[in-house]
């Protein structure tokens, strides 16, 4: 599966309950305009290897044709893409809920939410 053909892409932790709920909410509001890909899926692994760096698993990523934005830096382009008039429909990849941590607790929700605000990274694409 070609990465550039499926942009924009939101890459998220598909082994975390909170992140899965966030991705489903984004997908609902985006109305299938954004390809949703889990970090631990085959396509997610391909994206991490070809585009992202060693910080890939620390945050969610929004990837468009110009840039890969992670964490706090991804919020604005993600919302902008969700609100765009783009009619290109992308299918959502399999969103298996494989929570292997205690991520349904209040502490986990707080930690994940705070990491969204503290982590930020941008990678320009060629």
Start-to-end CA distance of the chain, whole Å, equals 19
Global confidence as pTM: 0.81
Closest-CA residue to 94 (of 20, 25, 28): 20
Tokens of 29: 């509001």
What pLDDT, in 10s, does the model give residues 93-126?
555 555 555 667 777 777 777 777 778 888 888 7
What pLDDT, in 10s, does the model give residues 5-20?
888 999 998 888 888 8
Closest-CA residue to 61 (of 23, 89, 100, 94): 23
Q: Which residue has the higher pLDDT, 32 or 103?
A: 32
Q: Where are the domains of the chain?
A: 4-124
User: What is the helix (H) or strand (E) element at residue 9, kind and residue range?
Assistant: strand 9-12
């Amino acid at each position: 599966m070609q990465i550039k053909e499926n942009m924009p892409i939101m890459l998220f932790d598909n082994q975390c309950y909170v992140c899965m709920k966030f991705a489903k909410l984004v997908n609902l509001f985006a109305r299938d305009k954004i390809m949703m890909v889990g970090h631990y899926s085959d396509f997610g692994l391909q994206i991490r290897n070809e585009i992202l760096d060693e910080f890939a698993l620390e945050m969610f990523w929004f990837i468009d044709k110009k840039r890969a934005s992670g964490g706090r830096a991804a919020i604005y382009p993600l919302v902008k893409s969700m609100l765009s008039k783009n009619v290109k429909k992308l299918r959502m990849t399999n969103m298996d809920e494989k929570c292997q941590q205690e991520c349904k607790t209040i502490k986990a929700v707080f930690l994940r939410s705070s990491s969204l605000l503290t982590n930020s990274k941008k990678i320009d694409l060629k």
